Amino acid sequence: DAKTTQPNSMESNEEEPVHLPCNHSTISGTDYIHWYRQLPSQGPEYVIHGLTSNVNNRMASLAIAEDRKSSTLILHRATLRDAAVYYCILRDTGNQFYFGTGTSLTVIP
């Protein structure tokens, strides 16, 4: 039931930017795009979300395509602590949200 598609895994060198892609071609007009990450042996934690415009916060940036059918999570300088599984999720008010398999990010020292 996941409505998003992400690569299974990606690698990045420490202190370099990381671009994590997500495809959501069936997105509806009221779906928000959320990103969560899950560190080993922990529950998922919120990273960022957006609707149409690009968003920035202290953790990351979210770039949303003009047609909203894809988005990219940008970590500006990857650290070893950013190694996690990153989930891209569509969330609509009043409904459950589904997690896909996510992207497992490996950060290389």
Partner 1 sequence: GAGVSQSPSNKVTEKGKDVELRCDPISGHTALYWYRQSLGQGLEFLIYFQGNSAPDKSGLPSDRFSAERTGGSVSTLTIQRTQQEDSAVYLCASSPPRANTEAFFGQGTRLTVV
Judged by the rule CB under 8 A, the positions of this chain that interact with partner 1 are 1-2, 30-32, 34, 36, 42-46, 49, 51, 85, 87, 91-102
Matching residue, tokens 């671009």: 19
Nearer to partner 1, 16 or 92 (CB): 92
31 secondary structure, DSSP code: P
Residue 50 C-beta: closest distance to partner 1, Å: 9
Strand partners, 106: 11
Nearer to partner 1, 43 or 109 (CB): 43
Question: Edge to edge, what strands does the sheet with 70-75 contain?
Answer: 18-23, 70-75, 61-64, 55-56
Residue 86 C-beta: closest distance to partner 1, Å: 11
